[in-house]
Amino acid sequence: MLLSHDLQALWLTLELAGLSTLILLILGLPLAWWLAHRDHMGKRLIEVLVALPLVLPPTVLGFYLLIAFAPQSTLGQGWLALTGTQLAFSFSGLVLGSVLYSLPFVVQPLQASFSQLDRRLLENAAILGASTLDRFFTVVIPLCRRGLLTAITLGFAHTVGEFGVVLMIGGNIPGETQVLSIALFDHVETLEYERAHLMAGGLLLFSFVLLMLLYTQGRNGNYRVHT
């Protein structure tokens, strides 16, 4: 049986991953669109910045975020003034860290599928009277479905699986910052292997099912644009 604070960790993890994925989509969609349709030095710089979390040890990112979140820092102070709470070791801080950490996993698949999209289809849609938003929902989204699905899955799963960043900026506060991966580490530390097994097995199964769904979905719904 999972104890209540394991369930709490599970719920917190899902909340964190869900919220982060939502924010990632809101930021990632326009950013990926911009990256797919521009070509200059500024674009390269942004691309590199977005890709950084792919190669950096999560603890490096976590370390800098910790410093940025500190109550003495500009960001930390601003956040304190705005919300009355501090950013470090808080759920909001975790969301912020997750968004940065998972950004490339959302932006890159979106960018790849946006740049594959035949521009003339969008031009045709515009000529036929569709506004920008209309074109986005009736042409871009259906044709980039696979990229979007990949982005959501990877963004979500990657946030569920993060450890280093959370450890640095979140600590281990049950109900506030203790996510599954940290709870698992906790169990191992305290030699509660039975509960560790349950948690690790559960995460393994979850990841497997998620990827399985993505791969089979992708196969059926792979719309290719003929030119």
Partner 1 sequence: MSLQVRLTFRPPGWQKNLLDIDLVTPATGTTAIFAPSGSGKTALLRCIAGLEPNTEGLIRFRKRTWLDSARQQHVAVNKRQIGFVFQDSCLFPHLGLLDNLRYGARRRGVDPQLEARLIDALDLQPLLTRDVRHLSGGERQRVALARALLSRPQLLLLDEPLSALDAAARYQILTLIRSIQTEWDLPILYVTHSRGEVAQIADQMVLLENGSVLCQDTPTRLFSRLDLPLANRRYSAAMLDCHIVRHDRQYQLTGLHIGNDPTRLIWTGLLPQTEGTPIRLQIRARDISISTIEPQHSSIINCLPAVIDDLRELDPATLLVRLRIDEQYVLAQLTRRSLDRLALHKGQAVFAQIKTVSLTIT
Rounded to a whole number of angstroms, the minimum distance from the CB of residue 149 to partner 1 is 14
Distances (CA, A) of 122 to 25, 84, 138, 141, 151: 21, 46, 10, 12, 22
Cβ 134 to partner 1 shortest distance, Å: 7
Q: Which is nearer to partner 1, 69 or 114 (CB)?
A: 114
Size of site (CB under 8 A) for partner 1: 21
194 binds partner 1 (CB under 8 A): no
And the tokens for 177? 């910052």
Asked if residue 129 lies in contact with residue 209, where contact means CB atoms within 8 angstroms, the answer is no
Distance CA 139, CA 66 (A): 41
Decide whether 123 or 194 has the Cβ nearer to partner 1.
123
> Which string of x and - marks every residue 111-150 that binds partner 1 (by CB under 8 A)?
-------x-xx-xxxxxxxxx--x---xx--xx-------
**Cα–Cα dist 35/59, whole Å:** 27
AA letter at 122: L
d(CA 125, CA 119): 10
Give the shortest CB-75-to-partner 1 separation in angstroms: 37
Shortest Å, Cβ 111 to partner 1 = 20
Q: Which residues bind partner 1 (CB under 8 A)?
A: 118, 120-121, 123-131, 134, 138-139, 142-143, 223-226
